Amino acid sequence: MRITVFGATGRTGWRVVGQALHAGHEVTAVVRDPAALERHNLGGPRLTVVRADVMDPAAIRPAVAGHDAVVSAIGPRGSGPTTVCADSIASIMEAMAAEEVRRLVAVSASGFVREGDGPLTRLVAKPILSRVLRHAFADMRRMEDLVRASRLDWTIVRPPQLTEGPRTGSYRSAIDRNVRGGVRVSRADLADCVLRCLDERGPLHAALAIGN
């Protein structure tokens, strides 16, 4: 499979790139700083690194053209007002539409969703988290709305708190609701889930929450 990864130098993105290469896929990593991938010892004949501004649909069209799927692992940084998730996904989807690429997996978060949570998480933890991360969550909500309104074959992946733990492949998942008690998962397992969604071609038109 030929996969384009946006946010490829982020803490989740580079793991998606690495695991995809290990699985034998061809990967195009769209980055602002190519040296960032080198620091993770990522390279080889199946990796193409493209330096481009994700906010410019015309600039990223060549990185999308001829590919089977696109992954967005772009996330907000800090706690201030932001539109990076929504703006970047709008640009990515415009480029995908122009190049007739339909498969999209977008990483979001489970923090602003309460369906499936237990009482303590839903009534105590989530209200606090929603206040602290209100700007980031608003951006991710808008991103999800844009994805849902598209005609693409999309999957949204919603992880809880992310850790730097190893790839286990033993996480739990739930469709359109959170994993009860699944309050954290490793970035390596998040990357594993993203690739599973591509390999298994689904779930389509759904949000998949994961957690340990």
Q: What is the pTM of this model?
A: 0.94
The residues near 27 (Cβ < 8 Å, ≥ 6 apart) are 2, 3, 4, 5, 17, 20, 21, 46, 47, 48
The residues near 131 (Cβ < 8 Å, ≥ 6 apart) are none
Range of the domain at 179: 2-211
Q: What is the dihedral of CA 127, 132, 133, 135, to 10 degrees?
A: 110
Greater confidence (180 vs 38) lies with 180
Q: How confident is the model at residue 120 (pLDDT cuts 50, 70, 90)?
A: confident
Q: Beta-carbon neighbour count of residue 39 at 10 Å?
A: 10
122: domain CATH number?
3.40.50.720
Q: How confident is the model at residue 119 (pLDDT cuts 50, 70, 90)?
A: confident
* Contact criterion met (CB below 8 Å) for 133 and 111: yes
To the nearest whole number, what is the mean pLDDT of the chain?
94
CA distance 125 to 182: 13
Residue 210 Rama label (left phi>0; alpha psi -120 to 50; beta): beta
- H/E stretch holding 175 reads strand 172-175
Burial class (CB in 10 A: 0-12, 13-18, 19+), 78: exposed
CA distance 206 to 133: 23
CA distance 187 to 14: 10
Ranges 11-15, 34-38, 125-129, 139-143: which has the least confidence: 125-129
Structure confidence at residue 93 (pLDDT): 98
Q: How confident is the model at residue 181 (pLDDT cuts 50, 70, 90)?
A: very high
Q: How many domains does the chain have?
A: 1
